[in-house]
Amino acid sequence: MFRVLCPGGRVLVADFRPPTSRIGRYLIGPVISSAMLSNPVHLLDPMIREAGFEQVRSGDIPPWIRYVQPAKPTSAP
């Protein structure tokens, strides 16, 4: 994404954030893969920065979405 995005361009990355409560895991567990119960969404921010993006904002959308909205620097590193 970094390579093809214009300088100053933005992208939105969203992923499933596993429930932290026991009840949430019980309710969502039967409809998702067991791998998704330990989805490492905490790594999204560091991966985005490592790719060269500047992080604009990030957050959670209840109940189970984590998003990061980075921008490509106007002068690429």
pLDDT tens-place string over residues 16-41: 888 888 888 788 878 887 777 788 88
As for how many domains the chain has, the answer is 1
At residue 60, does pLDDT exceed 90?
yes
Kindly give the residue spans of alpha helices, DSSP state H, lying in 1-77: 22-28, 44-50
Q: What percent of the chain is predicted at pLDDT more than 70?
A: 97
Does 6 map to a domain?
Answer: no
Does 59 map to a domain?
Answer: yes
SS3 content of the chain, % helix, strand, coil (to 5): 30, 25, 40
Does 23 map to a domain?
Answer: yes
* Predicted local confidence at residue 77, as pLDDT: 54
Beta-carbon contacts of 37 under 8 Å, excluding residues fewer than 6 positions away, are 18, 25, 29
Does 18 map to a domain?
Answer: yes
Domain holding 50, by residue range, is 13-71
